[in-house]
Chain A
Amino acid sequence: MNPRKDLLTISSLSDEDIHTILDSASAMKDIFTKSVKKVPALKGKSVLTLFYEPSTRTRSSFEVAAHRLSADVTTFTVSTSSVVKGESVHDTIDTLMSMKMDYIIVRHKNSGIPAVIARHCKAAVINAGDGAHAHPSQAFLDAFTIREKYGTVAGKRVVIIGDILHSRVARSTSVILQRLGAKVAYMGPGPLVPPEKHTGIPRFTNWESVFEWKPDVIYLLRVQNERIDTPFFPAQDYHQAFGVTGERLRRIDDLDLAIMHPGPVNRGVELCDDALEYRNSLICNQVENGIAARMSILYHLTPQTPVHE
């Protein structure tokens, strides 16, 4: 893999980059079974998590990943910083760069912010989710989870269900799966699924057509109420129309399909309670693999911060 400073989107990566990061993720996961779950790969390097949006899972996943690579991790808490006093992203980054950070892991509600930061600083910037644009580390962990389950991603059929319009997960995961040879389809409420002519991805409107398409994986997106200022669809309908109900779960079980979800799950909305106990649910594998994938990402990026031996 050629030296690369930032990870902002999946589309910016070559096929070789994608395979390299996935292969190393397997090696990273082997570390988890050792008594000392730590390697010195990033010893002495400083990693900053800069989350302008609330996040528990992604942030701790990155922090655990950095710790397991022996990096020093600093958490920049936005709610207590001068950002709430109106400081611009540029000025925040100038301040942080004076602290000589090597890696900055950023999440922001506006699409495109990580690219602005990456242009502006020498640290390696990892996009941990920007608006409805991209979430590349989620894409890696999803691809890794499917590859682990089936041995390959090529030829698998994955249907992503829910709020595609606001979803950076859908945008990044669909790209990596297609690059690895999988077929992807979308399903969800009309106002929340962009037309096929814009996405290039087949669009279904109901479960019946989803089952007819013969998917291997049912990938449910979280209904992100925090992103939706005015209602897009009748909320009471969602579970019945688009969620995994008990009846649909039985059908999924009969067909031996896998279920994935980026978390956190809205119980009774995307999934009925039983679906969380489903034998073929990969949701917990996704969380575990998230750490391995993020270790691999950190390991493969090359900050341009000056080094004086």
Chain B
Amino acid sequence: MNNLYITNATDPAGRQVDCRMGRSTGDVTFAPAGSISAPAGARIIDGTGKLLLPAFFDLHAHIEQPGRSKRESVTRAGQAALNGGVWGMLVMPSPGFMFDNYATLDSFRDAVSQRALAEMYAAGCISVGMNGEQQAPYNTMAARGVSVLTDAGAMPSSTLMLYRAMKYVAELGLTLAVRGDVPELTRNTCMHPGTTSYMLGLHGTPPCAEEIGIETVLRLARDAGAKVHIQTVSTAESVRIIRRAKAAGQAVTAEVALHHLLYTHECLGDYDTNFKTLPPLREEQDCAALIEGIKDGTIDCIVSDHTPCTPFSKKQDFISAPAGMVALDTFLPAIYTYLVKPGKLTWPEVVRACSENPCRIADPREPEYDAPMQAPLMLFDPRETYTVSEEHLSCGTLNTPLLGTELCGRVTLPLQ
């Protein structure tokens, strides 16, 4: 394999750079454009007009596709990730990937090493079978590289179980990832309460359920001395709660799903099931507060919350249809088109939220004897536009509201 030499690309800070990448050594050298020369035999890529960015790490992806084999799901999700500028991801446990025992973790690792084009790490279950009652074998999982534990975005039903899990994992250095919720308050609800839910006759998910859930998790974690990561924050008040906890010095990180930055509950229109998400899409002011949270560092990461759903399941009525949308294939182009291009986020903010912070949170290695997780580089050409169609969605399902819309930007990943 040849060394790579990228000329005249733009880095996240807007500087023109040349970049030399040693294939065998893994060394990467940046220099102002034109100041260094290409080594002999290197493959030269003209980066003019393109951005040279660290590839993204997605801290929240569901990859299991109902009716498909694990291997197939792994292959498709990997290709989808590369299309969207994502080189690695944290895979949520699911019925087919129940990461609560060493055998499933091992078979997943095998499938990934044989089939996946992108890096995939398993997030271990907090409770056995994600039943919310009995703690999973954390030591066994940690020994297999698990660094984040989650019941796939659910709040464990037993507060006592969660509290004890926190006390246990605090000593193992693992992170507990939880979505704020009070299940009793959100049962039988499927969207944000407001004019749209009233008109559609759907029961509203009160924002306070998420906020009370986050307060509970933070309070428990403070007492237990555990590191927690708050998943898919969706309300303005949740951002304020996390901001206060961080200011008080608590070890907490937080993520927001990309769709919570792009859409509001009004998008549901006439029961469009592609907009059914968990937690539900909120209001304009929540989107603005979440973006503000990314800018000031309260929200550490933007995640895809990629969730493949079969076409039939999404053709059902809104109440019966499953929640979630696929987002990996379109991840970076959507971030660019809807957030960077209109000036809502800058490239350095995006790189921090989509690459640096998630790599740090998910890093399965012990820093004492291994180098921290390092994202590879990718090129992004913001001038290219395309209309999202079936052929652009390698993930294999079509449950995204972006189908048929025009996005800007094309990703080159991996660089070779």
Known: A110-B320, A115-B270, A132-B203. A199 touches B315 (CB 8 A): no
Q: When each residue 108-132 of chain A gets 1 if its CB lies under 8 Å from chain B and 0 otherwise, what string results?
A: 1011110110000000000000111
- Judge whether B203 and A115 touch: CB under 8 Å: no
- Judge whether B201 and A198 touch: CB under 8 Å: no
B317 at the interface (CB under 8 A from A): yes
- Residue on A nearest B188 in the bound complex, by CB: A229
B160 at the interface (CB under 8 A from A): no
- Judge whether A132 and B202 touch: CB under 8 Å: yes
B195, B198, B312, B319: the one contacting A112 at CB < 8 Å is B319
- Judge whether A112 and B203 touch: CB under 8 Å: no
Q: When each residue 157-190 of chain A gets 1 if its CB lies under 8 Å from chain B and 0 otherwise, what string results?
A: 0000000000010010000000000000000000
B248 at the interface (CB under 8 A from A): no
- Judge whether B319 and A198 touch: CB under 8 Å: no
- Judge whether A111 and B201 touch: CB under 8 Å: yes
Which B residues touch A171, using CB under 8 A? 198-199, 201
Interface size class of A (residues with CB under 8 A): 20 to 34
- Judge whether B316 and A132 touch: CB under 8 Å: no
- Docked Cα-Cα span, A108 to B319, in Å, equals 12
A295 at the interface (CB under 8 A from B): no
- Judge whether A168 and B316 touch: CB under 8 Å: no
- Residue on A nearest B271 in the bound complex, by CB: A112
Which A residues touch B197, using CB under 8 A? 198
Which B residues touch A110, using CB under 8 A? 317-320
Known: A171-B199, A198-B193, A229-B188. A90 touches B316 (CB 8 A): yes
Which A residues touch B316, using CB under 8 A? 88-90, 116
- Docked Cα-Cα span, A116 to B316, in Å, equals 7
- Judge whether B195 and A111 touch: CB under 8 Å: no
Q: When each residue 57-81 of chain A gets 1 if its CB lies under 8 Å from chain B and 0 otherwise, what string results?
A: 0000000000000000000000000
A301 at the interface (CB under 8 A from B): no
- Judge whether A90 and B201 touch: CB under 8 Å: no
Which A residues touch B194, using CB under 8 A? 198
- Docked Cα-Cα span, A34 to B188, in Å, equals 49
- Judge whether B198 and A194 touch: CB under 8 Å: yes
Which B residues touch A88, using CB under 8 A? 312, 316
Chain B min CB distance to A166 (Å): 9
B200 at the interface (CB under 8 A from A): yes
**7 interchain residue pairs of minimum CB distance:** A133-B201, A132-B201, A111-B201, A112-B271, A110-B319, A112-B317, A198-B198
Binding site for B on A (CB under 8 A): 11, 88-90, 108, 110-113, 115-116, 130-134, 168, 171, 194, 197-200, 229
Binding site for A on B (CB under 8 A): 188, 193-195, 197-203, 270-271, 312, 315-320
